[in-house]
Amino acid sequence: MRKFLTGLILIPLGVLFIVFAFANRHPVTVTFDPFDANDRMATVTLPLFILIIAVAIFGVVAGSVATWFGQRHWRHMVRRYETDARAARVELADLRSRWESRDAQRLPELTRRVG
C-alpha cells in the first residue's frame, strides 16, 4: 500500500517537474556583483528551471542546517539524560543483586541507627 501511495504522489510530481522544466528552459543571466552587472567573472547564464531548483535546494539545506543548530540544546539534554539513565540501570542492577543475595548473606539493616 505504501509503494502505491508513493507512486501516486511521485509520478504526478515528476510529470509536473518535467513540464516546469520545458516551460522554463530559456536562459537567464544571474550576476553576483551588485555594483557592476556587466562583470563577466561574477555572472552566470543558465536555464531558469535550473536556477529555481538550485535556489530551492539551497533553501532546504540552509533550513536543515539552521534547524540542526537550533536543536543542539535538546541533543545535549538527551545525551545527559541517557548518561543518567545508564547510571540508574547500573545502580538498579547492583541493588537487585544485593537483594537476591540477602538470603545467602544477611545484609545489615539500612534503617538501623548507629550510636
Summarised one tens digit per residue, pLDDT across range 24-78 is 888 998 888 888 777 788 888 999 989 988 998 999 999 999 999 999 999 999 9
pTM metric for this prediction: 0.58
Q: Pick from 49, 52, 33: which is nearest to 41 by CA?
A: 33
Beta strand extents in the chain (DSSP E only): 27-31, 43-47
Residue 111 has pLDDT above 70, yes or no: no
Distance CA 72, CA 69 (A): 5
Residue 14 has pLDDT above 60, yes or no: yes
The pLDDT confidence band at residue 17, using thresholds 50, 70 and 90, is confident
- Per residue in 98-108, pLDDT (tens digit) is 888 775 555 55
Residue 27 contacts residue 45 (beta carbons within 8 Å): yes
Distance CA 47, CA 58 (A): 17
Alpha-carbon Rg for the chain in angstroms: 32
